[in-house]
Amino acid sequence: MTITTTTHLNFRGDARAALEHNRDVFGGELTIATYGDAGPVEDPAETDLVLWGQVLSDEGFHVMAFDVPAARPWDAGTDAFYVSVRGASVEEISSRWERLAAAPGATVLVPLAPSPWAPLYGMVRDPFGVTWVLDVAAPYAG
């Protein structure tokens, strides 16, 4: 048996745009099921919102997201989580970094550069408020 973990992002109305952005950055297949796809909805304004969505790439990138319905409390929080993307090469991480950092509304929190623990490390907040930590995997020398 294999156990995997997947980051699940919660939004209020931005899940589709965030998933499309993730697909554009990391590649892979985008799957979206709306509240309307699941049947009748309490609030017609939520018919086309994302009940469940994911981006899954052949390289192993996987993220899920949904739109929290208006009937449920929700707070985006501040730094409540980071999504860590760790790659095997400088080229692999640099190309993802360039796409994340170039998005309109993105904020570079820590520029992508060598660090004491990794050949490259950086943090960027995307236009949807998600903080991404990107680095190149290096053996632990502790």
Predicted pLDDT at 1:
59
Tokens of residue 114, six digits: 């060598």
- Residues 11-54 have pLDDT tens digits of 999 999 999 999 999 999 999 999 999 999 989 999 999 999 99
Please give the Cα distance from 100 to 106 (Å, whole number). 7
Please give the Cα distance from 62 to 44 (Å, whole number). 30
Domain of residue 108: give its range.
Answer: 82-136
Same domain, 88 and 121: yes
Predicted pLDDT at 31:
97
CATH number at residue 28: 3.30.720
Residue 12, burial from CB neighbour count under 10 angstroms (0-12, 13-18, 19+):
middle
Whether 106 has a pLDDT exceeding 60, the answer reads: yes
> Is residue 1 a part of any domain in this protein?
no
Number of compact structural domains in the chain: 2
Same domain, 59 and 86: no
Same domain, 61 and 12: yes
The answer to whether the CB of 51 falls within 8 A of the CB of 66 is: yes
CATH number at residue 94: 3.30.720.110
Domain final residue, candidates 67, 93, 114: 67
Query: What does residue 59 show for φ and ψ, rounded to 5 degrees?
Result: -80, -10
> Is residue 58 a part of any domain in this protein?
yes
The pTM of this model reads 0.84
Amino acid identity of residue 32, one-letter, is I
Same domain, 55 and 18: yes
- Residues 65-99 have pLDDT tens digits of 999 999 988 888 877 788 999 898 999 999 999 99
Same domain, 86 and 57: no
Of the pLDDT bands very low, low, confident and very high (cuts 50, 70, 90), residue 141 is: low
Same domain, 94 and 52: no
Predicted pLDDT at 5:
80
Amino acid identity of residue 94, one-letter, is S
> Is residue 72 a part of any domain in this protein?
no
DSSP label of 72:
S
